[in-house]
Structures are given as C-alpha cells and as structure tokens.
Amino acid sequence: MTTFDKREQGFEAKFAHDEELMFKAAARSNKLLGLWAAGQLGLSADAAAAYATALVTDNLANQTMTLSKVSSDLAAKGISREQVAQKLQECLHQALAQVAAAASKAGD
C-alpha cells in the first residue's frame, strides 16, 4: 500500500467519523428541541417523550422539516418560527458539545 492510499483511507475514515457525529448531533438536537417544544405545549412527561422521539425518527434527515413541524405546533402558543429556529440552533450547539464530549470520553 502506498502512502497515498494510506492518506486516502485516513481521509475516508475521518469523513465517515465526522458524518456519524453529525448524525448523532442532529438526532440529539431534535430530541432537545422536542422536549423544549413539549414543555411549551404543556405535554405530560410521557407525551413529551413521545413528541421528542417522533421528531428524531420522523424528521432527522431534514432540519427544515423539523423546524416547520415544531413551528406549526407552537404557532397557537404565539411562538414564532424565528424563535423556534433560534432554539433549534441552541439545541444543535448543545448537542454538538454533548456528542463531542461523549466521543472524547470514548477515546480515552
């Protein structure tokens, strides 16, 4: 195996690892947003967990779909799409930090 082949494999492995982390972060972000939205909607603990899980399983591939779903659910509560988008960004930053911490812990 040449040095070039080894470098190529290294880049491919890093890309796969980064994609996996982003997938986990998106799932965690949707869950965090779902729990927040459920609180705004006044859902019970079981209903809140179901709502958050549905956001993870139904809309994981597309943050725009997640934003639209939560925005429409919260519109009756007077919460704007922009407020939901801001909360989604906060959740994404929190999720990235959590996933990074978990990854570094696993690497120790």
**pLDDT tens digits for 51-101?**
999 999 886 567 888 999 999 999 999 999 999 999 999 999 999 999 888
Judge whether 95 and 28 are in contact, CB under 8 Å. yes
3-class DSSP state for residue 44? Answer: coil
CA distance 70 to 9: 40
Categorize the per-residue pLDDT at 9 as very low, low, confident or very high, splitting at 50, 70 and 90. Answer: confident
Quickly tell me which residue has 């965690």 as its tokens. Answer: 28
pLDDT in tens, 12-25: 877 777 788 888 88
Q: What is the rounded distance in angstroms from the CA atom of residue 8 to the CA atom of residue 48?
A: 44
- Burial per residue of 41-66, b for 16 or more beta-carbon CB atoms within 10 angstroms, e otherwise: bebeeeebeebbeebbeebbeebeeb
